[in-house]
Structure 1
Amino acid sequence: MDPGRSGLLAIVLIGLVVACALTFTVWTAQPEAESVPPPPLAAPVLTAPAPTPEALVVSVVGLVPKPGLITLHTGDRVADALQGAGGALPGADISALNLARKVSDGEQLYVGVPPPPELATGSPVGSARGTSGNGNDSKIDLNTATEEQFDELPGVGEVTAKRIVQWRTENGRFASVEQLREVDGIGDTRFSRLRELVRV
């Protein structure tokens, strides 16, 4: 065997061994990649349930398919009570009913029929609420009277009567006679003349 070729072959083999050793050393010396933990899940947002409207009961009588007690909620209007009773029967006159008025617990609605005589004074057909026996029967109820009834009051007139009903439609029931001052066109002088003629 040629000693020159065998020596060269030995050198090549030694070089390969050294190269493999260096490669292995470098590869094992590399730091291991750290695993990144997944981001924490966001906690679910809990929303408080909406408050349940307070229930109230009204009585609907007259020309309706289902007269009787109707359960409504605070903020419901005469139209809701009428719908709960099945609506007005054909031919029933509901023009005296203020369908936009908010109802109150315990009141009675007369649909298409006049209220009993003891309730008729100062109350329009379809919304009589009873009498108190304290001399208020002759006064106009601010929460149930019609434009025609307000128009009959001294110093009111058609325009102011419309404004009173409009205030009631936009703001709900009058809580006191004093709130009549909030109606456009009713100043101190006119209010002083009306305060003894109306009630709530």
Structure 2
Amino acid sequence: MWDQGGWTPREKGLAVAVGALLLLLAGVGISLWAGDEKQSEAELQPYPPPSETAVPKEEDKGEEPTELVVDVKGEVKHPGVYRLSPGARVEEALGKAGGPLKRADMDRVNLAQPLSDGMALYIPAKGEEIPPGVTAGAPVTSGSGGEAGQTVNVNTASAEELQQLSGIGPSKAEAIIRYREENGSFTSVDQLTEVPGIGEKTLDQLRDQVTVQ
């Protein structure tokens, strides 16, 4: 032990200053150590799980066909069933079948008519009557007995005549007849959409082929 009794006042002041400095350094060290501990604890904390982002469900797509299947018959080089893209016309189906034969009556065929899925396209010979249930791709005779090239009168046409229209099969033909029997004559072509099974798309195909005279 030092004999403090022999310290001068200057030496005592220095000793006090050194002691205070040591205490200050010790406090700073403790603070830094405590900060490192807290930082380590924070680093060890697990990251919160990423929030699940709701993935929007795809909207139900319409049941529009991805292709059209058409049965090409009659006076063509290669009769048969052909697959075409939606929006295809009679001209494209005719091309798939190799084109018409020489005896085909192309005056009765509307090459620009849109095709519908499941359609039976018949290319008639000159002077031949078109069989029921198929279409020649052109307006057919009217229900009142007009000549070829006239539109079909849906107020008087028979089921067989209605089936010659694009997109009209036996069930839709019967539905048209049943509608006019129950509700009276059609007053507008647009009224066909009130018939079960006939929508806007079918009406667009029929618009140039029918009349309500």
* TM-score category (smaller protein): 0.3 to 0.5
TM-score, structure 1 as length reference: 0.46
Larger Rg over CA atoms: 2
| TM-score of the superposed pair, with normalisation by structure 2 | 0.44
